[in-house]
Structure 1
């Protein structure tokens, strides 16, 4: 007997069993996108689901601060300020460095010379190691020996001793690199000469500033003015910075910050030059403006080197600052400028 399809019961429909439905995970567990693969089994009743452990080699966020929507994961680390660094650590280290320099100047000039020598030796090591990021092997041993010779002869023999020691260091670098063969000789030897010129030779001008009877004041005006450049530029840049100075080299530097640096340097240098060294007021203004330019140029120059090498800092010795070289970048060229200008404005 046939059944009318319009009046009989509907045929049975076979259903394929699918994966069981799972309750959505809490928002705080959505840390990364789910990995492809079979669905995980439901947890037993009464137990909380556990966060999945990523397989070896998977990308795992390195930051301790993760958020999804309004939910913030506990244990968040303090984010750096607008300057990109931990300002509390930076200020603390800066005060410690400034106090060390000031005390060494007040106690006895050779004490400052010893502090300077240690800082320059560390700076040479940092710069030489940083150059290896660009596959450059600058000879380290002859530059370290030349550093001691340059600073020592600058103290005992003056400018002629500094120049003679630098030329001897250049010769030593060229001869030392011969042991490595012709491959990369020009690159490595040139880098060694650059390190010798950039760090100990320019630091030798700080020693020349220290040599006269009023040398402590000459060093003080040079260092204090460079500090004023950093503080004034940072404050003006954060408050008013709108127009980048060199965005491809240092995106955070602005022309407004540069104006703040010039004002701060003039305000620092002028009273020390006039009241401390007995120079004319215009001499203080000239020194302030010139050191603002040289300090900024030194900072940009090192930033250019780091950009080329693909690194953020020259070292990690100073919390909030980076390495010693990250603090010497503005001081080194300014030492030479200060020595030349003060020799004219306030002859020893």
Structure 2
């Protein structure tokens, strides 16, 4: 998710804004319905989204001639997210460890690499890419499933998503209105320090309101939760922007009109998931 806009008014929107807003509202409605009608529906929805995003990343890496295996990340996604929801953190860790091992074995068995070196550098590079994908996608998403599994799980997930969305909206609005000083022009030219300030303010307010209302926490805990979530969400967004710049692509995919690929919508949510999960356990209990 983009967290703020930049300095050039003509380029601030970056996408077809009405289409992006419409698609965002539709995705939000589906998410809320899946959470509160039956939480297993959200598990299926999240698993499908992360699975598709994982395949997007595999394709992007392969376009840069990394022979990243697709089967282990796909199987790992289907194991890690349901495993985290049904079996908790231990199951998530075991499934992740087995997936990483499968990436290594699958890539070694598939052959290739520099046979003149005792440690084939291309194979090491490909394995590192595969491990990155299963860590960035299904492992981080697994923490959202740990939130979902709690007694008040739907509300935890809703607060988590609302905080990231608040960061996005606050950053975009402040960036469009006041953005003058680029934050990281070499990575994401449209992000400004003014937009970041907007994200922090809106995120803190959203946390102060959402945590007491939804989960019975203290307002100041909500402020802390909101600020930390914004910082991590912005870091995740910048990290994916840097990755896409290195890969030479604008978006990870084209599935979502006005938004790009699925992973382009998860870039802020995924890094924030473990942080929000741990803070919620601290503030309101497991």
TM range (shorter): over 0.9
Q: Unaligned 5+ residue runs, structure 1?
A: 1-79
> Which residues in structure 2 correspond to 1:147-186 (within 5 Å)?
147-183=77-113, 184-186=122-124
The TM-score with structure 2 as length reference comes to 0.92
Shift of 1:278: 1.0
2:212 aligns with 274
Shift of 1:81: 5.6
1:91 aligns with 21
Are 1:142 and 1:176, in contact at CA under 8 Å, matched by a contact in 2?
A: yes
Are 2:207 and 2:219, in contact at CA under 8 Å, matched by a contact in 1?
A: no
Is 2:61 aligned against 1:123? Answer: no
Shift of 1:132: 1.9
In the aligned structure 2, how far is the partner of 1:310 from the partner of 1:199?
20
In the aligned structure 1, how far is the partner of 2:111 from the partner of 2:262?
32
Q: Unaligned 5+ residue runs, structure 2?
A: 1-9, 114-121
2:270 aligns with 332
Shift of 1:133: 2.7
> Which residues in structure 2 correspond to 1:177-196 (within 5 Å)?
177-183=107-113, 184-196=122-134
Are 1:93 and 1:319, in contact at CA under 8 Å, matched by a contact in 2?
A: yes
User: Which structure features the higher share of helix residues?
Assistant: 2
In the aligned structure 1, how far is the partner of 2:67 from the partner of 2:13?
32
1:311 aligns with 249
Is 2:232 aligned against 1:290? Answer: no
The TM-score with structure 1 as length reference comes to 0.76
Give secondary structure in 2 for the equivalent of 1:253.
strand
Give secondary structure in 1 for the equivalent of 2:190.
strand
Instruction: Give deviations 1:276-319, integer Å, cap 9, x for gaps.
Output: 21111111001000010011001000000000011000000011
Shift of 1:182: 4.4
Are 1:146 and 1:196, in contact at CA under 8 Å, matched by a contact in 2?
A: yes
Shift of 1:98: 0.5
Paired residue for 1:256, among 194, 197, 202?
A: 194
Shift of 1:275: 1.9
RCO higher in 1 or 2 (8 Å CA, sep ≥ 6)? 2
Shift of 1:267: 1.6
Give secondary structure in 1 for the equivalent of 2:252.
coil
In the aligned structure 1, how far is the partner of 2:12 from the partner of 2:171?
14
Q: Aligned in 2, Cα 1:243/1:289: closer, same or farther, shift over 3 Å?
A: same
In the aligned structure 2, how far is the partner of 1:223 from the partner of 1:169?
27
1:343 aligns with 281
Structure with max Cα Rg: 1
CA RMSD of aligned residues (A): 1.0
> Which residues in structure 2 correspond to 1:49-64 (within 5 Å)?
none
Shift of 1:272: 1.6
After the TM superposition, which segments of 4 or more aligned residues of structure 1 sit over 4 Å from their partners? none
In the aligned structure 2, how far is the partner of 1:307 from the partner of 1:187?
18
Shift of 1:107: 0.2
